């Protein structure tokens, strides 16, 4: 399977991701690194580098001559007069950056209204430089090569599960289903591990609910996962396609590769 000609939108998103990667790299190697990678007033790490990345995104959009609106994690909603919205997590995996762990991305999705309306998604690994992208109906790609979810092999599961002090009891039970469990702390990267066949599922459910994920965390990887043959529900088995592209709502996430595994997990008591 050869890569189709890239849509102009994906080419723009790619250039945006490269610009953010440059900001990230420059901040990480700066002698004033502590000024860039620090705890914000609200307790969120990398707040300043997030804002630097958002400023760079707006600069690139202006230079590209596109009028897409912006929905981003730090700056919120920016009306630029367009009919499409670019949903951005400038640094997904902020706690990892703060701890010098190599699991973070810039996540980009272009669409309208809700997750089902995302037409294209692009996610760039800020440590490896690997780029994943997908457009509706055109498959999913990693650095120009197609990716696909893997078939479920019972008792051979690799599961990505958000663990820690706020993880729900159901998340802990889900982790027990896997032969191996990983927790990277980067929702887009863990979803992409499922999309590319490295894992069978990704499960994120915190308590209270306001500690769950926002659209900015999952929108880019959502389109890539679907085009790779997988699916995404909330942790009760409900479709997340109607989840709005805003930053003021939260959802749990159950991203899966093989529908048979997803059904078996829910029928096993997770519903």
Q: What is the pLDDT of residues 49-72, one digit of tens each?
A: 888 999 999 999 999 999 999 999
Confidence check: pLDDT of 254 > 90: yes
Mean pLDDT of 85-114: 95
What pLDDT score does 34 carry? 47
pLDDT score at 265: 92
CATH code linked to domain 158-270: 3.40.190.80
Residue (of 171, 88, 184, 179) closest to 128 by Cα position: 184
pLDDT band at 270 (very low <50, low <70, confident <90, very high): low
Q: Which residues contact 186 (CB under 8 A, 6 or more apart)?
A: 92, 93, 96, 103, 104, 105
Q: What is the pLDDT of residue 19?
A: 98
- Predicted pLDDT of residue 73: 83
Report the pLDDT value the prediction gives residue 42, as an integer from 0 to 100. Answer: 40
Mean pLDDT of 12-25: 97
- Closest C-alpha among 48, 72, 53, 49 to residue 80: 72
Number of helical H runs and strand E runs in the chain: 8, 13
Alpha-helical (H) ranges within the chain are 8-29, 33-36, 47-64, 94-98, 169-175, 187-195, 215-227, 259-265
Q: Are 222 and 111 in contact (CB under 8 A)?
A: no
Among 3.40.50.300, 3.30.9.10, 3.30.540.10, 3.90.25.10, what is the CATH number of 8-146?
3.30.540.10
pTM of the entire predicted model? 0.93
Q: 3-class DSSP state for residue 73?
A: coil
Q: What is the pLDDT of residue 144?
A: 96
Integer Cα distance of 237 and 256 in angstroms: 11
Q: Read off the pLDDT of each residue in 201-205 and give the average, rounded to a whole number.
A: 98
Domain ranges (residues) in the chain: 8-146, 158-270
């Amino acid at each position: 399977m050869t890569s189709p000609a890239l849509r102009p939108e994906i080419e723009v998103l790619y250039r945006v991701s490269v610009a953010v990667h440059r900001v990230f790299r420059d901040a990480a190697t700066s002698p004033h690194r502590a000024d860039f990678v620090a705890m914000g007033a609200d307790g969120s790490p990398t707040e300043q580098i997030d804002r630097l990345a958002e400023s760079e995104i707006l600069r690139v959009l202006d230079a590209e001559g596109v009028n897409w609106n912006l929905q981003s994690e730090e700056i919120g909603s920016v009306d630029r007069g367009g009919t499409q919205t670019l949903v951005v997590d400038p640094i997904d995996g902020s706690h990892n950056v703060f701890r010098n762990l190599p699991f973070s991305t810039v996540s980009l999705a272009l669409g309208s209204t809700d997750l089902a309306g995302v037409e294209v998604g692009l996610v760039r690994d800020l440590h490896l430089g690997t780029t994943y992208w997908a457009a509706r109906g055109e498959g999913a790609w990693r650095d120009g090569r197609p990716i696909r979810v893997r078939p479920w092999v019972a008792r051979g599961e690799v599961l990505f599960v958000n663990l820690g002090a706020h993880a729900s009891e159901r998340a802990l039970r889900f982790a027990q289903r896997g032969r191996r469990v990983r927790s990277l702390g980067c929702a887009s990267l863990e979803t992409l591990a499922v999309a590319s066949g490295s894992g069978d599922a990704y499960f994120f459910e915190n308590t209270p609910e306001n500690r769950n994920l926002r659209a900015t965390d999952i929108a880019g990887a959502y389109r890539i996962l679907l085009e790779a043959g997988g699916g995404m529900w909330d942790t009760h088995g409900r479709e997340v396609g109607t989840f709005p592209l805003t930053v003021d709502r939260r959802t749990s996430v159950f991203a899966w590769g093989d529908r048979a595994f997803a059904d078996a997990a829910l029928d096993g008591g997770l519903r």
